[in-house]
Amino acid sequence: MYACSVTHHRLDLDGLDVFYRAAGPQDAPVVLLPHGYPCSSYEFRSYMPLLADRWRLLAPDFPGCGYSATPEDFVYDFDGYAEFLERFANRLGIERFALYLHDFGSQIGLRLAIAQPQRIAALILQNGDIYEDELGPKYAALQRFFANPTPQARAGLADGVSLEGFEEEFLNEVEPEIAMRIPPDLWHLHWALMTPRRRKITVNVIAGLKENLAWFPRYQAYLREHQPPTLIIWGPRDGYMPEGSARAYLCDLPNAELHLFEDGGHWLLETHLDEVARLSRDFLERVHDHR
């Protein structure tokens, strides 16, 4: 499979210091890659060069994440992140793009899609939840907090924002032989970047997921109305987003392509990279390629 280098950049976005990764020709069709939790653009480091012969791939670190700044005046919620993603695309002169949607990057990207549906060429959906009735058992602790958000319960959320908590997030529910493919760099790197202020922001974002649940019907309505070309690639060994979370998309996107990696979990780009890249290439060549 073709591969080219990823380059690393800093951008002054109206006073906000933004780090992002890029790969591919400037004039190629664009794939925008908003990252999930507890990660950064680092999650796309190996995927990007495998598509960069035909597409321009752009992966920013959200404010308060990765190597981007953590400004005082940024609104650290899903609306704030979606607005940031729009500003980032505008600054780079990107009018139309495909979105790779993973983890909470799914909801952030879909908020941008709802606001500006004409800009969305295609979606690649990978373990991103928007169907409340299909949430997995690992959501139980969060749902208890939503029902009774006491200070003690909030302290329990904060306990999860730790090196051990990050390791659990990255390993999730996969079997040991698959877990061996997931590098410990993921949790050690991202924990090393977690300052006390970032930790407080992260707990607030997690607590704010209750409000995000109210957006789920809006995400679904966007998909039903606009029917963007969609590839669904999913690891069902995911305690937050099991197989049912993937299949639920077909209710609103009956023409979507669904591929399940039965032994895969939440971090397919670590455990099943080549297969995901091949499926992505085939899909994007059909729906998002001008060459």
Degrees, nearest 5: CA angle 234-249-75: 85
For position 290, what pLDDT does the model report?
61
CA dihedral 9, 182, 258, 287 (to 10 degrees): 20
pLDDT of residue 3: 65
pLDDT for 94 equals: 96
> Which of 215, 213, 163, 164 has the alpha carbon at shortest distance from 190?
163
Q: Average the pLDDT over 100-121 and give the result.
A: 97
Please check the confidence at residue 153 and state whether its pLDDT lies above 70: yes
Structure confidence at residue 8 (pLDDT): 98
Q: What mean pLDDT comes out for the span 130-157?
A: 92
Helices assigned H by DSSP within 148-208: 151-160, 163-171, 176-179, 185-192, 196-207
Strand pairing partners for 102?
Answer: 126
Q: What's the pLDDT tens digit per position in 223-250?
A: 999 999 999 999 999 999 999 999 999 9
Over 60: is that where the pLDDT of 1 sits?
no
What value does the mean pLDDT of the chain take? 96
How many CB atoms lie under 10 A from the CB of residue 164? Answer: 11
Helix axis angle for 151-160 and 140-147, nearest 10°, is 150
Indicate if the pLDDT at residue 135 is higher than 60.
yes
The per-residue pLDDT for 4 is 78
Which string of b and e fits 134-143 if b means at least 16 CB within 10 Å? bbbebbeebe
Instruction: Using only the alpha carbons of the chain, give its radius of gyration.
Output: 18
- pLDDT over 60 (residue 58): yes
Task: Please give the pLDDT value at position 2.
Answer: 63
DSSP type of residue 180:
T
Lowest mean pLDDT among 75-89, 151-165, 177-191: 151-165
CB under 8 Å to 217, separation ≥6 — which residues?
A: none
Give the model's pLDDT for residue 79: 97
Domains and CATH numbers, the chain: 7-287 (3.40.50.1820)
